[in-house]
Amino acid sequence: MTTAAAEAPRPSAARVSARVLGLPLLAAAVGLLVLLSLALGSRDIAPFEVLRVLTDASQSADATVIREMRLPRTLLAVAVGAALGVGGAILQGLARNPLADPGILGINSGAAIAVVASAFAFGAMPVGGSVWFALVGAGAATVAVYGIAAVGRDGPTPAKLALAGACLTAMLASVTSALVLADPDALEELRMWQVGALAGRYFPVLQQVLPFLAVGLIAALFAGRALNLLSLGEELARGLGLRTGLVRAGLFVIVAVLCGAATAACGPIAFTGLLVPHAARLATGPDYRWILAYSALLGPVLVLGADIVGRLILPGGEVPVGVVIGVLGAPVFVLLVRFRRLVEL
């Protein structure tokens, strides 16, 4: 068997054409949602006015709303959606578990508790400082889940990884809530962040996390071949020249960087890393080179769409994006568990 043949099943010409066509269509969908995100909210602005504001230097009230409030929030939603979608796809490939997700496996919770604990110990700090704590927390949670699942003769099986992640997530979420309640005055600003929110995220936040997200995404998009080989099984992947231990460690680092930075910026947004890779897989088949590319576009579609819905669904107020995605994601998660044939990798 040749390496090329082993990397992924050979797709039909029709599927290849559909894959190629799908990417520009998804990019157009992201562009449309970006425009809607800049136009819609408590103060609706006509799309043509949005385009005019983005192309000139006017100083109107609409320009202030768009440039200083909605633009950084929208760009952050794109970056965070891509990070969580790609991170979830990598985790599902690593764990060979269709229910793997940065939230379910405890990675988001690890980042969240690290941010809250640092604020509890040292006081609230800018995202540029808390992102380092988030990265450490995400990495520690990843190591903990993998270590717990590895105990026993059969090693870290997909079922054990999911169970270990669920237990760790529940424990860390409880401790995080306890820390917030222990000092509600000092940690008041973390309450909205804790449920996953984009409101109030301006350019300083985007500038502080964007380097981490960019580096993680660029590295992740080159991981497709390795994930294809890992999907064939440990022994065959090694036989084809893949240094499986080193590759797994590197991919876990990428996931920790993506999810840690995203969580530091917006809080723990659940289910994005679960739903996006499944949607990508339905469109592309099992080839992770395409799954990762599609996930990088489908993630922003989900997060931007949920953020827009959250702004419009409650007159005079706003539902955080994490709550909207949670409401959408929970029933889908139940369906994925109930109908196992829908989640075969």
284-326, pLDDT tens digit by residue? Answer: 888 999 999 999 999 999 999 999 999 988 877 788 999 999 8
**Contact at 8 Å (CB) between 68 and 230?**
no
- State percent of the chain over pLDDT 70: 87
pLDDT band at 9 (very low <50, low <70, confident <90, very high): low
pLDDT band at 6 (very low <50, low <70, confident <90, very high): very low
For residues 82 and 261, give the distance between their C-alpha atoms in angstroms, rounded to a whole number.
12
User: Residue 124 has what pLDDT?
Assistant: 66
Q: Tell me whether residue 211 is exposed, middle or buried, using C-beta atoms within 10 angstroms of its C-beta: 0 to 12, 13 to 18, 19 or more.
A: exposed
> What are the Cα distances from residue 196, in Å, to 97, 267, 268, 294, 334?
25, 4, 5, 23, 21
For residues 345 and 90, give the distance between their C-alpha atoms in angstroms, rounded to a whole number.
12
**Angle, alpha carbons 331-251-196 (nearest 5°):** 40
User: Of the segments 146-155, 186-195, 332-341, which one has the largest average pLDDT value?
Assistant: 146-155
Structural domain boundaries of the chain? 22-343
pLDDT band at 2 (very low <50, low <70, confident <90, very high): very low
What CATH class has 22-343?
mainly alpha
Asked if pLDDT for residue 3 goes beyond 60, the answer is no
68-82, 186-200, 229-243, 299-313: lowest mean pLDDT where?
A: 186-200
Asked if pLDDT for residue 328 goes beyond 90, the answer is no
Summarize the confidence of residues 243-272 as an average pLDDT: 89
Higher pLDDT, 147 or 3: 147
pLDDT band at 80 (very low <50, low <70, confident <90, very high): very high
Residue type for 259, please? C
Asked if pLDDT for residue 1 goes beyond 50, the answer is no
User: Residue 90 has what pLDDT?
Assistant: 94
Sign of CA dihedral 244, 246, 250, 252: positive
- For the stretch 240-248, contacts whose Cβ atoms lie closer than 8 Å and that sit 24 or more positions apart, written own/partner, are 240/3, 240/6, 241/3, 248/94
